[in-house]
Amino acid sequence: MQLTATKLEASSAVEGDVNPRSLLEEELHSVEYFDQAEIHHTLGDPSVLPTGMKAGPLFSVPQIIPTRRFLHRHEESREQRRSGRCGRRHQPDAAKIRKQHDEKKRLALEVAAEVKRRITERAAAKEVLVMMKREMESCVRVMEKEKLDLQDGFDKELERRENDWYAKFEKSRSEENWLRERVRRLEEEKGSMQSELEAVASKENNLREKVREFEQQMDGHRKRVEGAEKTILDLRQSLANSIQQTRQAENEVEMVKKAYLETERESQKLSEVQGSSILRKSLARAHRDGRKDTGERLVRTKSVSSADGDSSRRMTPEQAGADDVAQNSGLSVQDALVVANSSNIVGFTAALDGRYDLLERSGAA
C-alpha cells in the first residue's frame, strides 16, 4: 500500500511539476510539530495539531510513517495510565522525551531519505514519461504518415477501381446493346425461317404426293417388267423349242435330201423308160399342188419318221398322192410316188425357207 501511494504521489508530482525542496521543508515542518502534538494529546487537547494534519489515520503520504509511530506510543502511554502504575500523570519524563525527540529526528532523516528517493524516482519517471511522450509523438507522426500513405493509396485504389468499374459498366452496356440487336436479328431470322419452313413443308407434301405417284408408277412398271420377263422366258422357251424343231427339220431335210437323191436316180431311170415330156408335166402339176398344200405336207414330212414302222398297216399321204397322180396321168403307182416325193421336196424346201425367215425375225426382236 505504501509503494502504491508512493507511485501515485510520484506520478502526481511529475504531472503537477511539484518542487522537491518545498516538499522536504513541509516534511520537516510536520516532524517538528510531533512533540507538541504528543504533549497536547497527552494533556487531552487534540486541537493543537500542525497545519494540514488531521487527528486520525487519514494523513497524506509523507505523514504516514511518523503518524503511525506516534499513535503507537500514544496507545502505550494510554495503557500505562489505565493500569494506574504511572502516578505522575501530568509530569512526563525528560529522558523519555529526549529519547522520543531523537527518535523523531531519526524518523525525520528517514523521511528525508525516503523523500529524496521518491524525488529521484519522480525524476526518472518524468524522464521515462518524456521519452514515452517522444516515442508516442514519433509513433503518432509515423502513424500520421502511414495514415496519409494509406489514404493516398486508398484514394488511388478507389479511383482505379472506379475507372475499372466504369469501363466494365460501359462494356456491359455495349454488350447489352449488341445483345438486343442480336435478339432483334434472331427474331427476324426466326420469322423468315418459319416462312421458309412452311414453304419447305408444302414442298415436302408435294414431293410426298409425287413419291406416291412414282411408287404407283413403279408398281405398274414392276408388273410390266414381270410380264416382260415372263414373255422373255416364254420367248426363250419357244426359241428353244423352235431351235429343237429346226434341228429336227434339218434332220428331216437331210433325210429328204437322201430320199431326193434316190428319187432323182429313180427319175433318171424313169426318164429313160417313158420320156421327158410326161415327166415335166407331172412335175409341174405336182409343184403347183405342193405350193398349195405346204402346211399339210410339212406335217406329213414330220410324221414320215414315225410312220416307218406303220407303213405296212396304213397308207401314207404320199402314197395317196401317188395313187391320185397315177390315176390322172396314167402312170404306175411307183412312178407316181417318185413324182410325189420330188414335189414334196420342193414344197418342203420352200416351207423351210419361210420358217428360217420367221426365226431370224423373232431373234432380231
Q: What is the pLDDT of residues 158-213, one digit of tens each?
A: 999 999 999 999 999 999 999 999 999 999 999 888 999 899 999 989 999 988 88
- Return the pLDDT at 89: 46
- In a structure prediction context, what are the per-residue pLDDT tens digits for the chain, which is 365 residues long? 344 444 444 444 444 444 545 544 554 454 444 444 444 443 344 444 444 444 443 334 444 444 455 555 656 666 666 655 544 444 457 788 888 888 888 888 888 888 889 999 999 999 999 999 998 999 999 999 999 999 999 899 999 999 999 999 999 999 999 999 999 999 999 988 899 989 999 998 999 998 888 888 888 888 888 888 888 888 888 888 888 888 888 888 888 888 878 888 887 777 676 655 555 566 566 556 655 555 455 445 445 444 444 444 444 554 555 555 445 544 454 555 545 555 555 555 565 566 556 656 655 55
Domain boundaries, the chain: 2-137, 275-364
Angle (nearest 5°) at CA 168 between 165 and 172? 135
pTM here is 0.26
CA distances from 123 to 2, 11, 109, 131 (A): 19, 10, 21, 12
CB atoms within 10 A of CB 31: 20
Residue with cell 433325210: 255
Q: What's the pLDDT at 181?
A: 92
Q: What is the DSSP annotation of 265-322?
A: HHHHHHHHHH-HHHHHHHHHHHHHHHHHTHHHHHHHHHHHHHTSTTTTTS--HHHHHH
Please give the helix or strand (H or E) that residue 177 lies within, else none: helix 94-274
Per-residue confidence (pLDDT) for residue 78, from 0 to 100 = 62
Report d(CA 34, CA 142) in Å as an integer.
Answer: 55
At 223 the pLDDT is: 87
Residue 50 identity: P
The b-or-e profile of 217-251 (16+ CB within 10 A means b, else e) is: eeeeeeeeeeeeeeeeeeeeeeeeebeeebeebee
Three-state secondary structure call for residue 69:
helix
In this prediction, residue 278 carries a pLDDT of 57
pLDDT in the model for residue 273: 66
Residue 230's Cβ-side half-sphere holds a number of Cα atoms within 13 Å equal to 5
What are the residues whose beta carbons fall under 8 Å from the beta carbon of 235, sequence distance 6 or more? 362
The Cα 279–Cα 266 span in angstroms is 12
Residues 350, 354, 359, 361: is their CA dihedral positive or negative? positive
Closest listed residue to residue 118, CA positions, set 275, 229, 2:
2
